[in-house]
Amino acid sequence: MRAVLEGRKVIGLIDGLFESGPAVWHKEILFALDAGCRLLGAASMGALRAAECWQFGMIGIGKSSRIISQDAAVPMPMSP
């Protein structure tokens, strides 16, 4: 949300951790899209959110975005 409030017009959501902190919320994505931002998603979390929010204008890019259709397809265990 900070990027939107700072006037960014294009935002890329590439990846993130699901277990150690809160994931990017759908409401944050909708806030950015409503503010006129172009929102691109790739890799893990970005591709997942793009698959969930495409009908609102989020754009999925990359191989992961082409194959993701549900949450369970994305999270991967992290090694220390």
> Does residue 6 have a pLDDT over 90?
yes
Burial of 60 (0-12, 13-18, 19+ CB in 10 A): buried
pLDDT tens for residues 23-77? 888 999 999 999 999 999 998 889 989 999 999 999 999 988 888 754 555 555 5
**Does the reported pTM lie above 0.85?**
no
pLDDT of residue 44: 84
The answer to whether 44 and 64 are in contact (CB under 8 A) is: yes
Partner residues linked to 59 by β-bridges = 40
Measured CA to CA in angstroms, residue 39 lies from 11, 22, 29, 72 at distances of 5, 19, 8, 22
Question: Domain ranges in the chain?
Answer: 2-71
Residues 65, 38: Cα–Cα separation, whole Å: 16
